């Protein structure tokens, strides 16, 4: 199975600032995804990170707030822009391996916005 | 994607089998049943998936009813480390629709 790492593992940020989260996979994957998990809640899909093209966002999420890059088949970034305390969550990256049809998850980035 | 229904919480005694039910009455023919779990403060962990036949791996067994409208995840000998939130998810088995949509899951508490 793919091994996924995220940086940073946690951060405390001031409102109005932006944070970029990195996701690195140890093998080439077909699809990468970004999820948000608010305190005490389940995971919510933010977007699908498409290699070489713009990300596909789910309802309620927009590119201006959560810009995503995916420059190659093993790496993606999610930026949380103009943060407010409501953005305090765990942000999780996941990836789907070619021909495996099983999605694997990174350890998450715990963000606290003050 | 089909919706799933799971009990919000369950308890299980350590060393006993944990049986976690899931209803997916609107599942369609091309949708598989996936199970993940999330141990506190970690990313979700894949457990098992299946279409219509029962499946078993080193972690668990998956029993799917003949009409495919419900399934049960079985942890044969639960340990304290199996305490987690368990998610039952249905999705098409296609690389073009890889996204997983999570419900609220079942919080399993394994007790000594």
Summarize pLDDT for A1-32 with one digit per residue, the tens.
Answer: 789 999 999 999 999 999 999 999 999 988 89
Q: Do B99 and A108 touch (CB under 8 A)?
A: no
Distance CA A59, CA A82 (A): 19
Q: What is the mean pLDDT of residues B14-34?
A: 93
Identity of the residue in B41, B87, B95 whose CB atom sits nearest the CB atom of A96: B95
> Between these two residues, B97 and B62, which has the higher pLDDT value?
B62
pLDDT > 70: what percent of chain B? 93
| C-alpha span between A90 and A42 (Å, rounded) | 10
Separation CA A94–CA A103 (nearest Å): 6
Q: Which of B41, B45, B102 sits opposite A43 (nearest CB)?
A: B102
Residues of B in contact with A43 (CB under 8 A): 44, 102
- Of chain A, the end-to-end C-alpha distance in Å amounts to 37
Structure tokens at B76: 């044969």
Contact A55, A47 (CB under 8 A): yes
Q: What's the rounded Cα separation, in Å, for the pair A114 and B19? A: 41
The CA-atom distances, in angstroms, between B103 and each of B4, B55, B60, B72, B78 are: 7, 22, 20, 16, 23
pLDDT > 90: percent of chain B: 79
Query: Which two three-digit tokens encode residue A57?
Result: 């966002």
Short-list B58, B60, B12, CA closest to B35: B60
Round to whole Å and give the CA distance between A47 and A60: 10
Q: Which of A22-26, A48-52, B10-14, B65-69 has the lowest mean pLDDT?
A: A48-52
| Cβ–Cβ below 8 Å for A107 and B42 | yes
The pLDDT, as a whole number, for residue B98 is 66
Q: Up-side HSE of residue A22: CA atoms within 13 Å toward CB?
A: 9
3-state class (DSSP) for residue A58: coil
B104: closest CA of chain A, how far (Å): 5
Stretches in chain A below the pLDDT threshold 70: 100
pLDDT-based confidence at B2, cuts 50/70/90?
Answer: low
Tell me what pLDDT residue A31 has. Answer: 87
């Amino acid at each position: 199975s793919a091994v996924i790492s995220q940086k940073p593992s946690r951060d405390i940020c001031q409102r109005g600032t932006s944070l970029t989260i990195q996701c690195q996979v140890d093998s080439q994957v077909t699809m990468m995804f970004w999820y948000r998990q608010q305190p005490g809640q389940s995971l919510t899909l933010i977007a699908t990170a498409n290699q070489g093209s713009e990300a596909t966002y789910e309802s309620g999420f927009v590119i201006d707030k959560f810009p995503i890059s995916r420059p190659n088949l093993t790496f993606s970034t999610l930026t949380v822009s103009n943060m407010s305390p409501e953005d305090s969550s765990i942000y999780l990256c996941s990836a789907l391996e070619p021909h495996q049809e099983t999605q694997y998850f990174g350890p998450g980035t715990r963000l606290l916005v003050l | 994607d089909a919706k799933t229904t799971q009990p919000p919480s369950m308890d299980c005694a350590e060393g006993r089998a944990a049986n976690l039910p899931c209803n997916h009455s609107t599942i369609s023919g091309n949708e598989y049943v996936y199970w993940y779990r999330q141990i506190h403060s970690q990313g979700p962990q894949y457990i098992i998936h299946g279409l219509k036949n029962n499946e078993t791996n080193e972690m668990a067994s998956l029993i799917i009813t003949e009409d495919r409208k419900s399934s049960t995840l079985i942890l044969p000998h639960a340990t304290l480390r199996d305490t987690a939130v368990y998610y039952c998810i249905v999705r098409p088995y296609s690389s073009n629709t890889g996204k997983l949509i999570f419900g609220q899951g079942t919080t399993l508490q394994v007790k000594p």
